[in-house]
Chains A and B, each alone.
Chain A
Amino acid sequence: MLKLFRYGFAELSSISQLSRCLSIGACSRAFTSQARRDPSETDEATAAINEGERLNLESDSTRTNSNADPHQNPYKNEMEETFAPFRFVYPEFLPDPTIKWRNRVREKLERMDMLKRRSNIDIPEFYVGSILSVTLSDRNAPGKTNTFVGICIQREGTAMRSMFTLRNVVDGHGVEITFDLYNPTILNITCLRLEKRLDENLRYLRDAPPEYSTFPFDMVPELRNPDAPVPINTLKVKLNPKPWHAKWQLWDLKGVEDFSHELESREWRKLNTWKFSEGYETAKYDLMKTYRSTIPAEEQTEIYSEVHQQLAKLTASLRKQKRKRTFVKPQKTV
């Protein structure tokens, strides 16, 4: 249920330094849920601001129907269009795409279990890069509860086995806790800051200076317009000098500053050999590989049209209860 990793760091930097680092890229806001990422257009040299602008432009053209060219997408399915953004908000409702492990009955039963759990706890929308606070029931803790605050660096698994990993630096030590999303001992999950990052996972924060992953435990949740698109933080992290925990050069990371000066000539050679031997250039054209790693749109529509009404009802009722609990009637002061 609970995994704990510890990574040593030299010193804990001040909060002011942290806030300065975060404010660099926090300005640009975009919505990319429907935008297809075009590999040919993304250039590593483009500045963070340009990236944000490009994403904004793409999102505008795809999101609003009035601006969209009628010839752009000949395939129009209204059901699919309405349920397409759901895959980012509730990714755990989609099953594991591995064909030999598919079992329609089990998937349906698991979805019912997830809805039952969601009727007891409000699981907010969050992404990799969002800052969360999780309260867990812990009988050995002084107040019987334990709270951890951190940045979500990874989401993995599907259905009842879906997990997320929070990272924070506590007393100069990097701490990562992997929670099961549907763990029944979780009492509360709050999203303190809702934002996305440029990468699928932020495991490289283990090799970044601690100010990138230090967050105060008494952080106040940020207010945001619920109808506004989720902002993308285009922050570029500067990695520590080597040695690293993994060979970060093997993934084309977008949220990391250029580290080519760190690599030796033999590493460059090996990188090129790997890319050549694995057909790196043509891998994006392998259509069946893409198909085997996703759930088809028709199936996604079927799943979300099955659960969306109940989900909306549950979240509305839970938030109403929450507001009632927090509302304090003002006292008359004479």
Chain B
Amino acid sequence: MVFPPPIKVHAAPKLVNLVSKLNVRVLPTRRRLSQPDGPEGRLKRMRNIVTALVKNERIEVRYHSGDEARGYAERLISEAIRYGDLHKPTMDLAKFWIHDEAAVPKLFKVLVPRYKQWPSGLPYTRMLKAPTNIADYMNSTSLYAQHLFGVLELRGNPFPPLPGPFAKPHPGAIHNVLLEEARKEYFRSQTNIEKQAEQQTQAVPVPDEEDPLEQMTHNLLSESPTTESPESKK
């Protein structure tokens, strides 16, 4: 039973609230995630993710619930930018969505100034698929375990960038220096092996006279019309 019960009227947009346009993809309906505690429990699950995101700026979550919570985080930030902290309904929203009271000022004092002059069309958050070790989930018999987890982060965070579609490798980072050295060493070793192989192929093998089998094969090869050695002509 839906509350209040639906009445057969033609749809029209609600006009009371003005909302900012989101720059993330919005699904036509909400995801059908499991909600054992009802719609209220679902919102509270979303709230846990949003609170963790505002506090830590980069979190690892289940991909689908994280992507669902992403929309709520974007909406909360856009409302905070639009109405500010003196607007009472927006403050109520912030207090609901950020369960930790100490983190509520962070939304208005840190995130709003950061995203106020944000380039248009660029979302405030980023959702990436995290690599998952499939062997850990073999017993769960789920074929969709490849992207079980994702990384949800606020853009413009102070952490080093993640390897994603927009991240550039930092040449000064220690792991990049080591990787670069390892790569160079690998190619050096590869070239050495190639050189050795070339030298081996260029040197003509001299048959061992004492071994009859070696002698036979050498003769057979030299008799064939395609490969004629100068020794057989003599």
A158 touches B43 (CB 8 A): no
B14 touches A99 (CB 8 A): no
Within 8 A of A (CB), among B81-130: 81-84, 86-89, 92-93, 96-97, 112, 116
Complex formed: what's the CA distance from A98 to B3 in Å?
Answer: 19
Chain A residues near B30: list those with CB within 8 A. Answer: 288-289
- Give which listed residue, A162, A278, A289, A298, contacts B3 with CB less than 8 A: A278
B26 touches A278 (CB 8 A): no
What number of residue pairs across chains A and B have CB atoms under 8 A from each other? 149
Complex formed: what's the CA distance from A291 to B29 in Å?
Answer: 11
B20 within 8 A of A: yes
A74 touches B15 (CB 8 A): no
Name B120's closest neighbour in chain A (CB-CB).
A298
B21 touches A296 (CB 8 A): yes
Within 8 A of A (CB), among B1-32: 1-5, 7, 9-22, 26-30
B16 touches A37 (CB 8 A): yes
Complex formed: what's the CA distance from A251 to B13 in Å?
Answer: 19
Chain B residues near A75: list those with CB within 8 A. Answer: 20, 81-84
Chain A residues near B15: list those with CB within 8 A. Answer: 87-88, 91, 94, 294
Chain B residues near A155: list those with CB within 8 A. Answer: 12
B153 within 8 A of A: no
Chain A residues near B92: list those with CB within 8 A. Answer: 40
Mask: chain A, 252-287; 1 = CB below 8 Å from B; 0 = not: 000000000000000000000011011111110111
Q: List 21 A-B contacts (CB under 8 A).
A: A37-B16, A38-B88, A38-B89, A40-B92, A73-B87, A74-B82, A75-B82, A87-B15, A91-B15, A98-B28, A156-B11, A281-B40, A287-B71, A287-B72, A288-B26, A288-B71, A293-B13, A294-B14, A295-B13, A296-B22, A297-B18
* A73-B82, A278-B2, A286-B43 known, 8 other contacts, Cβ within 8 Å: A74-B112, A75-B20, A97-B13, A154-B9, A162-B10, A277-B38, A279-B40, A285-B97
